[in-house]
Amino acid sequence: MSETLSAQNPVNLRLPDGSVRTFDGPVTGTTLAADIGPGLLKAALLVKVNGEAWDLSRPIEGDSDVAIITSRDKEEALDILRHDCAHIMAQAVQELFPGTQVTIGPNIEDGFFYDFARAKPFTEDDLPVIEERMREIVKRDLEVIREVWDRNEAIEHFKSIGEIYKAEIISDLPEGEPITVYRQGDWLDLCRGPHLPSTGKLGDAFKLTKVAGAYWRGDSSNEMLTRIYGTCWTDKKELKAYLHRIEEAEKRDHRKLGKEMDLFHLQEEAQGSVFWHPAGYVMYNELQDFIRARVTQFGYKEVKTPQLLDSKFWEQSGHWAKFRENMFVVPDEIPSIEEDAPIVTGSGKLMALKPMNCPAHIQIFKQGIKSYRDLPIRVAEMGVVHRNEAHGALHGLMRVRQMTQDDGHVFCREDQITEETIKFCELLSSVYRDLGFPDFRVLLATRPEKRDGTDESWDLAEQRLEDALKETGLEYGFAPGEGAFYGPKLEFHLKDAIGRTWQCGTLQLDPNMARNLGASYVAEDGSKQAPVMLHRAVLGTFERFLGIMIEHYAGRMPLWLAPTQVVVTPITSEADDYARSVYEKALAAGLRAELDLRNESIKYKVRDHSHKKVPAIFVVGGREAENNTVSIRRLGSNQQSVVDSPKAIEDLVAEAAKPDSTANA
């Protein structure tokens, strides 16, 4: 199967165990594997040559460090299996649906996708058919052959067979880059590789999962392609485990739990705005109390500002020009009720529901004269903002149109930026730690293409933020070009139960807005200076953060956040009075307690409250009444423990304290 090569200089290949094998001339990975042993030859998927993944059929021409990769080398194996799976899917699609063009098909976490151009998009119903054809192609065990093509010939070839997207991709590759094409049977695709030696090596641990629309090159002004997602593993057991994982993740979807636990609902008459139910609002308020205390501790003063503001503020802030389509605009006028008299009263001005709090905070800053000695001034607000989001973007609590930010603005001097950024990172880290998210990702979002300010000012701003990040010791990455038009930002990302990441916390450095809205302070030399603003939020919004927390804890909230902390319930009605007395003591101790006197079996009541995710159930019967004890059943355990009732309450009260890692830090 590998090429026969004429003997030239000897080639020495060093294996991972340090041993060296010498060949007369260039040698392929296949030959090397065969030389080592038939078992390895059978298991071999690709070869790593000096750390680079190569096809087994590609001749190794000089002395190298090599390693034969098999399915036991998970990471490398999954990479190549998934990529081959995408290719085999593309072949299946083109066999079944002639005229469909291929575009790109990369690996993603847990699988792969391939984008196709086809007049009639695929539907879920097509997936089993495509999958069946894929299995057939695997069975054909087609040899996969790597070919290096001339760039122009490649472009011509793909154009001639109607693959305009592929031709476009090649045209965009830098000159001089080798154009490699992989052929399996009579199907071929442009690809960097490497690939499996034959389709049969793929195995059967794959599944097509969903179809979706996706824009060509991720640009919404381009045409929409049809994307098929799949997952692929080294064996069936892993595939099954993955599918099970997805199923489990879906069970903790906050929209599902929100319904089951009676936390909130959404309805179309207030699309994208949350109706918080009593249970959900307990969580909301507890979280708000928590962040309010923490923010105060870090030197912020809380304010409350108007919802409706004159459009002139938004013009000055730049939002009118850049954010207008996302704003709810409200004319200040009252149309007449009478049909034939369209008289309008009011100022006729345009108002807008605030999509951000910054201009309002600047108004507070502007009251009175500020000295450089007053800075930094840290303003916080549980700011209710409205944004008219694209309808397709709305998603439970994660993406809404009315949201409450734990917003804040730091007005400071330029020389205070780094210090204030460090302080914010400390605040945010303490909050995330206390809320159960010690691991989060920080990205430094740098200058976008369209931006205000000079390159020098951006150099400085980005440097200040990066200096701060270095100082904090947080690990960070970059999001090139993702900064706001006015300045760079830090993005803090959390991952949800099904692997999607959400940006929550943010810090945005803004040297301009305060000036644009006429804010200034008196500097040491008596001159008027505009303060720098740091727009920042720790949780981001209460809506999204609670959505993430519900999923993170699968509804089993820590005691301090649980809507109902304990249910007291008797086994028979004979213990009703005792149950009531325990319940009243729990209430008096400050616990969110409920009393369940329903005439139902204890089994039923335990099941019911467990479903509702109540963290603790105090079951009481004759024995408990006699000894002044309770039988405690904690959520997630099928064990009970009998404890003196005052102690049981005391323990829960202690456990229900808000977390505070800053207290003894």
Three-state SS at 551 = helix
Omega into 376 within 30° of 0, i.e. cis? yes
Q: Would residue 370 show up in a list of annotated catalytic residues for this protein?
A: no
- Decide: is 633 part of the binding site for RNA (CB under 7 A): yes
DSSP, res 156: H
Q: How far is the CB of 322 from RNA (least distance, A)?
A: 9
Question: Which string of x and - marks every residue 101-140 that binds RNA (by CB under 7 A)?
Answer: --------------------x-xx----------------
- Decide: is 550 part of the binding site for RNA (CB under 7 A): no
Catalytic residue among 358, 412, 425, 504: 358
Nearer to RNA, 23 or 502 (CB): 502
Nearer to RNA, 122 or 182 (CB): 122
Three-state SS at 352 = strand
- Decide: is 390 part of the binding site for RNA (CB under 7 A): yes
Question: Which string of x and - marks every residue 244-283 that binds RNA (by CB under 7 A)?
Answer: ---------x-x---x------x-x--xx-----------
- Decide: is 549 part of the binding site for RNA (CB under 7 A): no
Alpha carbons 649 and 631: distance in angstroms, whole number? 12
Q: Would residue 244 show up in a list of annotated catalytic residues for this protein?
A: no
Q: Would residue 489 show up in a list of annotated catalytic residues for this protein?
A: yes
Three-state SS at 19 = coil
Interacting stretch for RNA, rule CB under 7 A, among 290-298, 389-397, 418-426, 643-651? 389-397
Alpha carbons 411 and 377: distance in angstroms, whole number? 5
Q: Would residue 195 show up in a list of annotated catalytic residues for this protein?
A: no
Q: Would residue 463 show up in a list of annotated catalytic residues for this protein?
A: no
End-to-end CA distance of the chain: 65
Q: Would residue 387 show up in a list of annotated catalytic residues for this protein?
A: yes
Would you tell me how many other CB atoms lie within 10 Å of the CB of residue 131? 17
Q: How far is the CB of 609 from RNA (least distance, A)?
A: 9
Catalytic residue among 195, 387, 451, 613: 387
Three-state SS at 420 = helix
Read off the amino acid at residue 597.
L
Beta strands in 72-143 (DSSP E): 101-102, 107-108, 111-117
The one among 396, 408, 488, 563 contacting RNA by CB under 7 A: 396
Question: Which string of x and - marks every residue 45-84 that binds RNA (by CB under 7 A)?
Answer: ----------------------------------------
- Decide: is 219 part of the binding site for RNA (CB under 7 A): yes
- Decide: is 6 part of the binding site for RNA (CB under 7 A): no
Near RNA in 195-214, by CB under 7 A:
210-214
Nearer to RNA, 29 or 547 (CB): 547
Contact residues for 136 (Cβ-Cβ < 8 A; gap 6+): 92
Q: Would residue 467 show up in a list of annotated catalytic residues for this protein?
A: no
Three-state SS at 522 = strand
Alpha carbons 46 and 314: distance in angstroms, whole number? 58
- Decide: is 574 part of the binding site for RNA (CB under 7 A): yes
Widest pairwise Cα distance in the chain: 99
Instruction: Measure the CA angle with vertex 321, ends 465 and 401; round to 5°.
Output: 80
Q: How far is the CB of 581 from RNA (least distance, A)?
A: 16
26 half-sphere exposure, CB direction, 13 A CA radius: 11
User: Which residues are catalytic, by number?
Assistant: 358, 387, 405, 407, 409, 489, 535
